Amino acid sequence: MNLLIVEDDPHVTRLLLSCVQEADSSIRTFTTSHSAEALSIAGRECMDLFILDIQLADYKGTTLASQLRAMEQYSYTPMIFATAMADEELTAYRELKCYSFLIKPFTKEEVVQVLRDTLRYHQHLMPREQKQTLQIEQKSHIHEYELRRIMYVESFGKTLELHLMTADNQITAERISGWSLKKMAVLLEGSSFVQCHKSYLINCSYITHIDKTAGLVELSGAASPLPIGNKYRDNLLNRATL
On whether both 115 and 145 belong to a single domain, the answer is no
Q: Which amino acid is at 169?
A: N
- 169 plus 222 within the same structural domain: yes
Q: List 141's β-bridge partners, or say none.
A: 138
Q: Are residues 105 and 211 in the same domain?
A: no
Q: Quote the pTM value.
A: 0.53
Relative to beta strand 133-138, strand 216-219 is unpaired
Closest CA to 2 of 62, 57, 77, 60: 77
Give the per-residue pLDDT at 129.
39
pLDDT at 142: 82
Report, as ranges of residue numbers, the positions in the chain whose pLDDT lies below 70. 86-94, 124-131, 167-168, 241-242
Q: What is the pLDDT of residue 242?
A: 46
> Pick from 128, 146, 170: which residue ends a domain?
128
Structural domain span for residue 88? 2-128
Backbone torsions φ then ψ of 91, nearest 5 degrees: -60, -45
192-226 pLDDT per residue, tens: 899 999 999 999 888 889 999 999 999 988 889 99
CB 128 within 8 A of CB 36: no
- Give me the number of domains the chain comprises: 2
| DSSP letter, residue 181 | H
**Nearest one of 69, 41, 3, 38 to 192, comparing CA atoms:** 41
Query: Are 91 and 83 contacting, i.e. CB atoms less than 8 angstroms apart?
Result: no
Same domain, 122 and 139: no
